[in-house]
Amino acid sequence: MMDPEVSILLDCAQWRGLLEDQVQVELSDRFNRQTDPLLEQHIGEVWTQRLTKEPWLFNGAKFRLHSFRLASPERLHCDGSDGHLCEQRRDGAAEGDHVDINGGCLVQSADNGGFNEKPSPAMSRGAAVRHHPSSLLTLRLGLTCYKDYLGTNWSCKVAELRRRGQKEFGDSLALLAQPLGVGAVLCTCDGQVVFIRRSQKVAEAGGLLDIPGGHPEPKAVCERQGEAGEHISMAVMQQRPDAVVSELFSSVCAEIRDEVNVPLSCLGAPVLMGIALNHTSAGRPSAEFYISCSLSSDEVRKLYWEGGAEANESTDVVFLSRTEVLQLNRSSPLWSEMCPSAKGAILLYQTVKPERKQNHREEK
């Protein structure tokens, strides 16, 4: 099923999803976006205009997904320089039909579901990596912010920025903010998947059905490392890349707590299903998770209407059975009511089938 609004950059179906100890990060300023004075001026103008219309917006640091390295599934027989890891760049076509790579080792095509092998480059030098013997996925992260996201991914000049990025840096996304989001397919104990109806006041996809989600926060990582205030330090985060991974996985649970009002104690361990790209915002990436909930749909509905910390971001809660979600496609009436982030998560859920991972963990 193809949808021009979304595509899948990475799916973890080979492992039925990944747990926190199977993911690591590589952090470096070299993974930040490229820029120049004219682009910075444009970003400032866009931000000023948006604040005039939406004074409630605020800026904040975000992680920028530059690329990832994936442990080679058996079928790939990757013969890269490290023998095990492959790198893939996020340079997908706007129509979502393929993912091109600049300097990576895999080309993934949705046309045939296959991979074409290329030599794998060595890991970047001077970047901190959280090493774990069971890690299967390495996310390469820089820093960006919400202001830059609105001034690049959402700019009226985004097509020009993509052309410039490709011409000047060999990467059509080099000048874009590309903040990494998170989202959750939240499934209740009675087999219902939780959706929320977005408020008309939110910055994106107002009035559409969505899954709980948001962003991992660099600020939260720095605060846990003793850095006070608004100071965001790449150097501090490089000292504890494990804390960044922890924030990635814990932030999606915090979003469920704040948006749906479900206590953290009622949530299972997040299972990373993969990364989806939102082409309505120039291919912005989002890590999509599966999370089980020990509460029933009636209990979740009651908590939602009691109101959470971010209750103002949505106006209703909607439940679909697992079966209904697995059968959703572009011809389904509800599909047109879904925002791109929800569509991407649904496609991953249908592909990865992460319940088997969760059930196996609980049996242990």
What is the set of domains in the chain, with CATH numbers? 6-71+134-352 (3.90.79.10)
pLDDT band for 106, please (50, 70, 90 cuts).
Answer: very low
Please tell me the predicted confidence (pLDDT) of residue 127: 60
pLDDT band for 111, please (50, 70, 90 cuts).
Answer: very low
- Would you state the structure tokens that stand for residue 173, as one six-digit string? 């996304």
Average pLDDT over residues 242-266: 97
Give kind and range of the element (H or E) at residue 291. Answer: strand 284-292
Please tell me the predicted confidence (pLDDT) of residue 70: 87
Please tell me the predicted confidence (pLDDT) of residue 98: 30
Q: Look at residue 342 and tell me whether its pLDDT is greater than 70.
A: yes
CA nearest to 31, candidates 250, 223, 185, 180: 180
pLDDT band for 16, please (50, 70, 90 cuts).
Answer: very high
Please tell me the predicted confidence (pLDDT) of residue 1: 64
Q: Look at residue 113 and tell me whether its pLDDT is greater than 60.
A: no
Average pLDDT over residues 200-229: 81
- The pairing of strands 23-27 and 106-109 is unpaired
Write down the mean pLDDT value for the chain.
83
Please tell me the predicted confidence (pLDDT) of residue 86: 43
Q: Look at residue 249 and tell me whether its pLDDT is greater than 80.
A: yes
DSSP string, 279-347: GGGTSEEEEEEEEEBSS-HHHHHHHHHH--TTGGGEEEEEEEEHHHHHH--TTSGGGGGB-HHHHHHHH
Q: Look at residue 215 and tell me whether its pLDDT is greater than 70.
A: yes
* Distance, CA of 211 to chain centre: 12
- Would you state the structure tokens that stand for residue 108, as one six-digit string? 């993934």
The pLDDT tens digits for 172-209 are 999 999 999 999 999 999 999 999 998 876 666 678 99
Average pLDDT over residues 132-156: 92
